[in-house]
Amino acid sequence: MLYYAEEWIIGISLVGGILFGLAAALSPVRRLHLAVSAAVLFLVLGYEIRMDRWEKTVRAPIRLDMFVEIPLMILFLMFGTWQLFVCSKRKKV
């Protein structure tokens, strides 16, 4: 079960990175844009896993980085989703 925000960030980044990575591999039209979204989401995933390990080594972790991390993740999820819809519309035309 996903209880904490960090677990949601890890799950959403993993799913989004895989989805956009596969779409970039299969769609030559928007390959660069989808690959950038996938790469950023995988970087957020790696960073969040590392910060989760760091949190366990300190007494009172204050995660101010979440104010940047969550909007960044949402921005690239929206950008990647937009690119997927643009790619699907261009294939139909």
Q: How far apart are alpha carbons 48 and 66 in whole angstroms?
A: 9
- Give the pLDDT band (50/70/90) at residue 67: confident
- What is the DSSP secondary structure assignment for residue 65, as one 8-state letter? T
Helices 31-55 and 66-92, interaxial angle, to 10°?
160
Look over the chain and give the mean of its residue pLDDT values, rounded to a whole number: 85
Token pair in block for residue 9: 């960030």
Task: Read off the pLDDT of residues 28-53 as tens digits, 9 standing for 90 and up.
Answer: 777 888 899 999 999 999 998 898 88
Q: Is the pTM of this model over 0.85?
A: no
